[in-house]
Amino acid sequence: MTAGKHKDIINAIVYETNYHTKQSRYLRVKCRRMGVESPNEGFRPAVQIPHPLLLGLLSHSSSPDRKKGDTGMEKEKNESQASAFQKPVTLIPVTKKIVQTALFISLAIAVRSFSPMVYFLGAPGMRISFSGIFSKFPALLFGPIYGGIAGGITDVIGYLLKPEGPFIPYLTLTAILGGAITGYLWKIFKNSDPAKLQRGLWILFILIGAVGLFNYLSTRFLPNSSVSLLIKQAGKYEGFLTLGLVAVSVVGLVLMILDYAARKRFPNAAVNKYYTKILLPYGISGLVVTVLNTWILIMHIPALAKIGFVLYLIPRLVEEIFMMVVQSYVAAFLMAAYDRVVRRS
């Protein structure tokens, strides 16, 4: 096909956008007549979207006999627009996050389905589950929003697949809150020094035990002191401020000792890089959710209300502290593997 025929085709599908164009007598649209070209002007496509066919015709019609108004800049522009159609389509980051979050949600639901439920006075009171390893992991990878979504979906679908007791929407809200807190705290601690975090945990558990022991001794031997009177105002929650704090401290210190022994035995393990950093987000969010869920369950299940808040909370706290240590170890291994395989690839 000759250059002249190319121009005829282009003239049929483009028009001039300035005031020098003429009104066609036949088609009632502003366009050039076939074979007529305005002086010192190039061709402008009517549609600004770079259609591949139009770009090909424009590139073929570029010849040395074109007017001076057609510069090399237009040719380069057309070539760059045409190359845009040849770029490979890549998976956008949001889609990757959604797919990976869905994968961890599936793993969490599968683990939750095999988790045993502990009953108190015939009512479901505590689930021993490792599903938090996977339901909270998107919070570490993608932030609080994905962590909250993963926690909420895991709770709802997990209940639908294996209902135990009444469905309480407030527990779903606390699951969302736990995932969001995990993601927010991870942003704070992920760049921290693990050694400093370990020292901080030692000090924290020792202080918790000291406060609990002091409160217990005050109420036991100094019942009329100001501290004892203040603690007694807590009513049925008095035990949590005394022996409850001591129990949390003892369990925490035992776990810190085990962690110290493991680090001495395996000093170069990849888990050491992430464990303490993950322990704080997993642990703090887990403790907050445990306390809130204990209160919610007592308010909605009469059988659990007979136990009392403190007596019901203490075994749940002990279980949560043990689980958060195990979950943090597994999550640390997952994070090391994720960095080595997924992010580097």
Pair of tokens at residue 131: 């599903």
- C-alpha span between 216 and 244 (Å, rounded): 10
| Longest CA span, the chain | 109
Question: What is the C-alpha to C-alpha distance for residues 308 and 242, in angstroms, rounded to an integer?
Answer: 15
Please tell me whether residue 30 adopts helix, strand or coil conformation: strand
The one-letter code for the residue type at 1 is: M
Number of neighbouring beta carbons within 10 Å of residue 101:
22
Q: What is the pLDDT of residue 293?
A: 94
Q: How far is CA 141 from the centre of its chain?
A: 6
DSSP 180-210: HHHHHHHHHHTTS-HHHHHHHHHHHHHHHHH
Position 29 scores a pLDDT of 47
Find the helix or strand (DSSP H, E) in which 99 lies.
Answer: helix 93-113
Structural tokens at position 239: 């035990």
If residue 60 lies in a helix (H) or strand (E), which one and from where to where?
Answer: helix 52-61
d(Cα 134, Cα 144) in Å, to the nearest integer? 14
pLDDT score, position 210: 92
Tell me, yes or no, if the pTM score tops 0.75: no
Nearest-CA neighbor of 2 among 43, 75, 66, 61? 61
Length of the chain: 345
- Rounded Cα–Cα distance for residues 288 and 278 (Å): 16
pLDDT one digit per residue (tens) for the chain, 345 residues: 555 555 555 555 554 444 444 444 444 444 444 444 445 545 555 545 555 555 555 555 554 444 444 455 555 555 555 554 454 544 558 898 999 999 999 999 999 999 898 888 888 888 888 999 999 999 999 999 999 999 999 999 999 998 888 899 999 999 999 999 999 999 998 888 877 888 888 898 899 889 989 988 888 888 888 888 888 877 766 777 788 788 878 878 887 887 788 778 777 777 778 888 898 899 899 999 999 999 999 999 888 888 888 778 878 887 888 888 889 889 998 998 888 877 666
Tokens linked to 170: 């407030």
Q: In angstroms, what CA-CA distances link 282 with 11, 189, 289, 308, 331?
A: 67, 11, 11, 26, 9
pLDDT value at residue 52 = 54
Tokens of residue 172, six digits: 């779903």
| Distance of alpha carbon 53 from alpha carbon 14, whole angstroms | 13
The pLDDT score that the predictor gives to residue 185 is: 94
Supply the DSSP symbol for 114: T
Quick one: CA dihedral 9, 10, 14, 17, positive or negative? negative
pLDDT of residue 36: 47
The rounded distance, in Å, linking the Cα atoms of 176 and 289 is: 10
Q: How big is the CA angle at 75 (ends 69 and 77), to the nearest 5 degrees? A: 110
Question: What does the domain layout of the chain look like in residue ranges?
Answer: 3-84
